[in-house]
Structure 1
Amino acid sequence: MSNNYDIEVGKRYTIYNSLFLDLPFDDIYRTGTLLPILQAACESGYQQQKTPTQILKQFFSDMLPKVSVKEHHELLFQMVQYIERQVVLFDSIEDAAFEKINETKSKGSINALINRAENDNKKAALIEKLKTFAVRITLTAHPTQFYPGNVLGIMTDLEKGIRTNDLASINLILQQLGKTAFIKKQKPTPIDEASSLIWYLENVFYYSIPDILYRILKRLDLDIHAWENTSLLQIGFWPGGDRDGNPFVTHETTMAVADKLQRWILKCYYRDIRKLRRRLTFKRVEPIIMKAENGIYQTLFTNEQVFTNKESLLEILYEARELIIKHHDGLFLELLDQFILKVKIFGFHFATMDIRQDSRKHDNLWEGIFESQKGAAFVENFKQLDEDQKLEAVFATTELPESYSDEFHTEMIQSFKSINYIQENNGVAGCHRYIISNCQSVLHFMEVFQLANLTLKNKDVLKLDIVPLFETVDDLANAPGIMRRIYNNPTYMDHLKARDKKQSIMLGFSDGTKDGGYIKANWGIFRAKEELTKLSREFGISVIFFDGRGGPPARGGGNMHNFYASLGPDVENEEIQVTIQGQTISANYGKEMTCTYNMEQLLSAGLENHLYPTVEKTLNAEQRALIDEMASLSYEAYKSFKKHPQFVSYLEHVTPLKYFGEANIGSRPVKRNKDEAMSFEDLRAIPFVGAWAQMKQNIPGFYGIGSAAMKMDQAGKLDQIKNLYKNSLFFRTLLGNSMQSLAKSNYAPTRYLSEDETYGSLWDNMFEEYQKSINFLLKIGGMDELLEDNPVSKSSIKIREKIVLPLITIQQYAIQQLMGQHSEEEVLTLQRLILRSMFGIINAARNAA
């Protein structure tokens, strides 16, 4: 597979990269000619332990000795732009070779799983599981997509040209790429973010999801028309509804996005039914199809709502279906059934919107409610009550005030009411979950439950799922106790019975890792899932886990197939739900082939976990004790690191963290409390992880592993850890994903910080842990090199890191220079260099934030 990768990707990149030199742009030949020389200078310079400044100064002295510093900087900007486009080219080449470098029809594919089930006489069990199972991926608007929409479109066209080796087309598209800006002049609004993600719904998911389900049913000889679980594959949607820390999301935004989702699914239906009518031209049938087509048109383009829900559309389509069977021998019935399947899957909502808000905002809202109704003295007294007394006051509230002194409180109530609007227009599937970020108590949960009762309840029915989000190490540990008290509440249990006895619980990998370090967070989430599963089964509740993941291992990314296949019987397996964001959307779900592959991987992982429970998926007491000990040791190391007096200062003043807010890639601020000084608690996980990735230090993806393994080795337990790695899929996946973080790390460009008076000891600490982690992971995995068992990832990372090495050097040069004294103009230039180089570094990693 590695040789195949080198031919299909590595060699092609070398060939097509040469086309850049012939592009008709100013100074491009000089830039393209000097760039390989700079790349070689960086490689040799870091081997000699030179600093980025020394490397660049030597480079300019050798190659451009008579050019001014200002012209040097202009060349660096040109190189940044050149490298950005090299990364786009490489991404497109890799995407074009996707089928050849990935085993798309073997392990992890649905076809392979069905073959295995048939061979093992488990076909019936597979069908039964498919009747109730579901996978939901939720698209989020977190700011990690550095490619603007027009560049994504160029990449799609470039990939097509590369697939067919159309040099003329490739050359033209590269010219377009050279003239297309990578930087957005303004921050996107939440509506802009929603529009960007709807592109994937319309052009990718609308085709991939029905295709997967259709192939599964055909392969298993199941009647497509009679199949009931059309929610097997679902799409969730956060843009427009996720208002946690985003002041730009209002209830008007939420409703506008819901309207936009409905319009786009109707456009998809209209496009398809026009194609369908070209085949269904039979007597009796054609008039009915035309009626459906006209009804969609009028609903979409006029004020006449002919169809108000999917049922009204399906009723007409079913009528046409019966006539085809009765009078036309089922001719083209399959085409109609495929269209009906799409309507059943996507309804009038396209994707399910979630509403999310921070628990502290609900606390504040309730204080506003009490102040309006009972005065300021009551509020002060309320703050002194214990939790049970506070709950009593909340549930004693039977109506809400007509007005509030705080406009934001009015907005929050309107946000709840927007759920009614969506359910009435798009169906209950359009919005049926309210997620509570930073949920730390029963009160946080019940505050939202009661607000929902007071704003949304219709005829004693509340069609809303309340979803707590547990994130920090302490929150994860406390989650079972909180949920026990919630389950013991008779009013809430009555609500759960009306919701099919299903309780969704969200677990945050990103903030968990930020808070507790890599092993502690992942182990804490695994343990929490087991305890919450046991507790929920005790109460007769089906718990559904919703994993808040990002792209890199530091935020729960990496190999998700192995992760979900490894959970074992003690973790509820009703559904797999996971957030997908930023680059991970475009990289893993941006095209039909990659989308189908990755959705099948998730689906087959959950099914495989159910059908094939093995010893390697079940942890025994000894194995649990080992992981528990490693988690504790790594947590202590990570906590000690976070307590370093310069930890926050380093993030704020050395890393590019603050520039994330200036990159115009997302509508959300870098931290929750934008008007306050930077604190670790308020810092969002995405820029936190992204800042370490920019520095090529990747702390959240490995820190603590080396220290923990070293202490286990000193205690004579290294052989036990090796056996654990060999025999536990969960542990092997956990460490394997961390290897990705380490493989994308490079401490040579920041070695100069070891000499810094303020930050030297912090850098030394990081570098020591980096070396220890690599050393022990290689010992534990029995490898000579990182990712030895994953040659495709290893090759991809190696080429990508080589491409961006000059970019990393340019950014570190600017950071290093800013530590000295410069004129205001020079400072602005250096800051621009840092900001501009961020795009290529992030994009090359594909899942760095």
Structure 2
Amino acid sequence: MKLSKKQAVFESEVITRFELFNSLFMTLPFYQVKHTGILLPFFTTHCERGVTEKLDPETIIESFFDQNDQYVRESDRIDLLFRIIQYIERQVVLFDAVEDAAFKKTGRSDEAGLLDAVLRQTANNTELRNKLLAKLNDFSLRLVLTAHPTQFYPGPVLSIITDLTEALKKNDINNIHLLLHQLGKTPFMMKSKPTPVDEAVSLAWFLENVFYPVASAIQSKIDDEFDIPADENKQLVELGFWPGGDRDGNPNVTVESTKRVAVLLRTILFRCYYRDFRILKRRITFKGVEKYMDILQELFYENSFNPPDSPADEKPVIIHNLQEIKRVLVEYHDGLFVELVDDLLRKVRTFGCFFATLDIRQDSRIIRQAHAYLRTCFEEKLAIPADFDQLDEEAKQRALRFDEHDLSCSEDAPPLVVDTLGVIRLIKSIQRWGGERAAQRFIISNCQQASDILELMELFLWSGWQTPALHIDFVPLFETVDDLHRAADVMKALYTHPHYKKHLQQRGNKQTIMLGFSDSTKDGGYLMANWSIYKAKIELTAIAREYDVDLVFFDGRGGPPARGGGKTQRFYASMGKEIANDHIQLTIQGQTISSQYGSLDTAQYNIEQLLHAGLTSHIEQKDGDTLSADQKQLMAYMAEVSHEQFLALRHDPLFLKYLERFSPLKFLSQINISSRPVKRNSDSELRLEDLRAISFVTSWSQLKQNIPGFYGVGSALRHAEETGKWEQVKQLYETSGMFKTVIDNCMMSMSKSNFDLTSYIQHDEVFGGFWKKMRDEYERTKQYVLKLSGQKVLMENYPVERESIAMREKIVLPLLIIQHYAIRQLQKGALKEKESEVFSKLVTRTIYGVVNAGRNLA
């Protein structure tokens, strides 16, 4: 088959170069076992053949050893498997670096998605240009980095990837050789679980090395295009941060760790400022600027290297002195080097003294517990009914008084109560150190009723905060299917509540609502999750417009399609007139952080894609993106059919047993990648509702079955065809960007599935039928999405991404065979304790490479 132009470029710039440098890498003598680099290609081919023949993992691995016994002694076999894992981990890094180095040649597959394109589009159209400028004044993009346990590369490896990518861009063979050698000798594993502060340090690498320059560069592009002075611009790109603030289900996040992360972010930012200031100081050596330069020199240096225990928000001082320097340059020195001052001014206006807004998140049940504790301790002072917990929702809302107090809990209070009340007080300090934006949002997960928000608001007022100075946005998180259905009623109750209404007016009538995909997918399946969130957005927008509220949707997306990720920019571009889309806010999680925002090129491209999506959905909205009543009915119908199929699978008694038996689910808690437990209520036995969605999705992705990303879609499409609705479905696919994106992301999930890998399970007496049911739905979904899209193969319309996925799947196939082999050995139960430890370690080691290669698998 003739390659398309894009495929040909990818073949030459990525595949060929990877194979070239991989052959060099394979000859480097890293490990004690001889012939590892030589045997790996043969082992990979052997695994591919075995999977094609549907052999079980024991047969594949043991037959390989039998065929190569002249190279591998029986006593060295397990050791060789570990060495193969180490090689493949580094092959994945090499492929990442080669692909990132070629990004400008292969990555811009959709030129219309770049910010430059929309600027060119409006250049000669005054009306459109004015419309765009007006939109820019109201629009913002916030990317929130989250501490999810799939960011596997430690800091040193990230640095190697960065340097290797640059060396590959320049074809610097000598440096590439040295970096490959360094890569081979650099550990990938952490000896102990990271703390929340460790996670913050890891993600702060991206803030410092990527987002700091890229956000400023994009802002500069907009400012230059519209002749906006650097000290008068409207910030376009904002950053949020969850490590150290997200305490939902993570007992390791404490008031102390939150404080340390806030200080860390501030200190790292000032070091970025100090580096820029040193460049500025080398150039601006003229008369008239000395006193301003001296003030900035001391301010930047002290806050970088001797940060005070209780710092102040220095942003006004910094901006004043930079503006004075700029004034002197313009008035007396012909504006020489004024662009350096503008660059730093732009960064200070963007990042202030905080770098990224530290979000606080806690479960509503903990909020209720803290509220109940203070009610009990200060019953007479608070004058809230003793039977408050037994009241219905309306009575609860009436009973809350919103009086101001300064209450403290005793030392013997429950730890989570102490933490909740402590972090409420800490937020005030963080705002004093870095300004209001340093920590201005409290997210309430598992939000089920308006009183969940109102009780938290009252906790602030009981903790020394005063109503006029309550600079906090209370953000409900609706995630399960049931919560999404109730969301509009909850918000209507808040918008009409006198105290909350007054608070919202103080916050500029702007309300942020977080919608999470992870638990809704686990709860209702892929299609129902997507439709429930889309439908909730329509309903929430209608309520907000009714009460004149500026609505901001904060989406829990940015990872795999099963957790709301995939082609996120296309999703935002397809928001119709019924959905508020003036602001885009989303989480960036897991290995998606390094894959989409790990380098300057990829970060700028992906940020501009999202900006383009938000801007164009306003200035050239497509009629098909606003669904008609019939289309909504069709979507609801298909979502319900899909939901029924998913629930039938989920309620099967074998569902969780299958995941525990064949996937590495129980091993996720043993890998040192996250401070967060694999499941909530970690001391209890495993229940699906307690299992974190990220663990749920990761387990399916390791099985290469990706059930959360497609299951039920095929049945829904088939049912639509059988009931005479197929032409309506085709018309929906052709006109609705939202539905097309849902199907495209489904195809992406399926492209990363391989049921041949686990085909041996079909012969299992207990689980064989269960496996066949999932495989049949996969084949059914594949048949119908191809028929609907008119494609011959999955992701045919995205050839570069399809080739990239195929190559990555090929690289990690041996890891999956080793993983399944080790799991099956452990299940036999006849191993000695030391042998069991070895096979358990084999399982955990394979998880890293598989997820890193997938880039948005978990």
Give CA-to-partner distance per residue, 1:539-575, whole Å, 9 cap, x none: 0101100001141100011111111000111111221
Q: Which moved more, 1:195-204 or 1:20-29?
A: 20-29
Per-residue CA shift, 1:653-684, capped at 9, x if unaligned? 33111222211111000011111111111111
Q: How far apart are residue 830 of structure 1 and its match?
A: 1.8
**Could you list the per-position Cα deviations for residues 477-513 of structure 1 after superposition, in whole angstroms to 9, with x for gaps in the alignment?**
1000111011110111000111000000000011111
Which of residues 511, 533, 544 is equivalent to 1:525?
533
Alpha carbons 2:407, 2:462 under 8 Å: kept: no
Aligned counterpart, 2:785: 777
Matching of residue 271 in structure 1 with residue 253 in structure 2: no
Q: Given that residues 33 and 80 in structure 2 are in contact (C-alpha distance below 8 angstroms), is that contact kept between their aligned partners in structure 1?
A: no
Distance 2:474 2:124 in 1: 42
The TM-score, its normalising length taken from structure 1, stands at: 0.97
Please name the residue that 2:255 is paired with.
251
Conserved in 2, the CA contact under 8 Å of 1:298 and 1:306?
A: no
SS in 2 for 1:152: helix
Structure 1 Cα separation of the partners of residues 287 and 73 of structure 2: 80
Match of residue 536, structure 1, among 525, 537, 544: 544
Summarize the alignment of residues 167-182 of structure 1 with structure 2, pairs less than 5 Å apart.
Answer: 167-182=173-188
Alpha-carbon spacing, 1:601–1:673, altered in 2? closer, same or farther (3 Å): same
**What per-residue deviation string (whole Å, max 9, x for no partner) do you get for residues 398-437 of structure 1?**
5465334424212210111110010011100101000001
Tell me which residue corresponds to 1:692. Answer: 700
Q: Alpha-carbon deviation of 1:257?
A: 0.9
* Contact 2:47/2:817 (<8 A) preserved: yes
Task: Rate the CA distance shift 1:804–1:399 in 2: closer, same or farther, 3 A.
Answer: same
Aligned-partner Cα distance in 2 for 1:34–1:269: 50
RMSD: 1.9
Q: Does 1:789 align with 2:793?
A: no
Question: Contact conserved, 1:440 with 1:475, CA < 8 A, in 2?
Answer: yes
The equivalent of 1:330 in structure 2 is 335
Contact 1:310 1:347 in 2 (8 A): yes
Q: Give distance in 2, aligned partners of 1:443 and 1:838.
A: 42
Any residues of structure 2 matched to 1:344-383 within 5 Å, and which? 344-374=349-379, 381-383=387-389
Contact 1:358 1:436 in 2 (8 A): yes
Distance 1:38 1:702 in 2: 31
- Where does 1:738-753 land on structure 2 (aligned, <5 Å)? 738-753=746-761
Distance 2:290 2:379 in 1: 65
- How many residues get paired? 846
Separation in 2 of the partners of 1:743 and 1:208? 31
DSSP 3-state at the match of 1:808: helix
| Aligned AA (1:523) | W
Determine the C-alpha separation between the residues in 2 that align with 1:29 and 1:612: 62
Q: Matched residues in 2 for 1:619 and 1:433: separation?
A: 32
CA distance in 2, matches of 1:401, 1:332: 54
Equivalences for residues 56-95 of structure 1 within 5 A: 56-64=61-69, 69-95=74-100
1:93 partner letter: V
Unaligned runs of at least 5 residues, structure 1: none
1:778-821 Cα shifts (integer Å, max 9, x gaps): 11111110000000111001111111111111111112223323
Higher mean C-alpha deviation, range 718-727 or range 730-739: 718-727
Deviation of 1:46 (Å): 2.1
Whether 1:476 aligns to 2:484 is: yes
Q: Does 1:40 align with 2:49?
A: no
Alignment of 1:360-759 (within 5 A): 360-374=365-379, 381-395=387-401, 399=405, 401-404=407-410, 405-408=412-415, 409-455=417-463, 457-458=465-466, 460-759=468-767
**Any stretches of 5+ residues in structure 2 without a counterpart?**
1-5
Instruction: Give the aligned residue type for 1:86.
Output: Q
2:107 alignment partner AA: N
2:95 corresponds to which letter in structure 1?
A: F
Query: Aligned partners of 2:302 and 2:403: how far apart in 1?
Result: 44
Alpha-carbon distance between aligned partners in 1 of 2:690 and 2:476, rounded to the nearest angstrom: 19
Find the counterpart in structure 2 of residue 224 from structure 1: 229
Q: 1:734-764: CA deviations, max 9, x gaps?
A: 1001101000001112112222233222211
Does structure 1 conserve the Cα–Cα contact (< 8 Å) formed by 2:312 and 2:432?
no
* Identical amino acids, percent of aligned pairs: 44
Given that 1:435 and 1:469 are in contact with CA atoms closer than 8 Å, whether structure 2 keeps it comes out as yes
Distance 1:200 1:308 in 2: 23
Which residue, 318, 323, 330 being the options, matches 1:318?
323
- In the other structure, the counterpart of 1:833 is 842
Aligned to 1:114: 119
Deviations 1:68-98 (A, max 9, x none): 6542221111111111111111111001000
- Residue 836 of structure 1 aligns to which amino acid in structure 2? R
Q: Distance in 1 between matches of 2:688 and 2:777?
A: 21
Equivalence for 1:288: 292
Q: Which residue of 158, 163, 188 corresponds with 2:164?
A: 158
Q: Residues 459 and 53 (structure 1 numbering): CA distance in 2 closer, same or farther, change over 3 Å?
A: closer
| CA shift for structure 1 position 723 | 2.3
Is residue 144 of structure 2 the alignment partner of residue 138 of structure 1? yes
Once residues 716 and 38 of structure 1 are traced to their aligned partners in structure 2, the CA distance between those partners, rounded to angstroms, is: 50
Give the equivalent residue in structure 2 for 1:844: 853
1:195 and 2:218 are equivalent in the alignment: no
Matched, 1:235 2:239: yes
Partner of 1:53: 58
Structure 2 CA distance for partners of 1:369 and 1:392, relative to 1, 3 Å: farther
Q: CA deviation at 1:105?
A: 8.6
1:2 maps to a residue whose letter is Q
CA contact (8 A) 1:105 1:112 kept: no
The answer to which of 321-330 and 483-492 deviates more is: 321-330
TM-score, structure 2 as length reference: 0.96
For 2:651 and 2:188, how far apart are their aligned partners in 1? Answer: 38
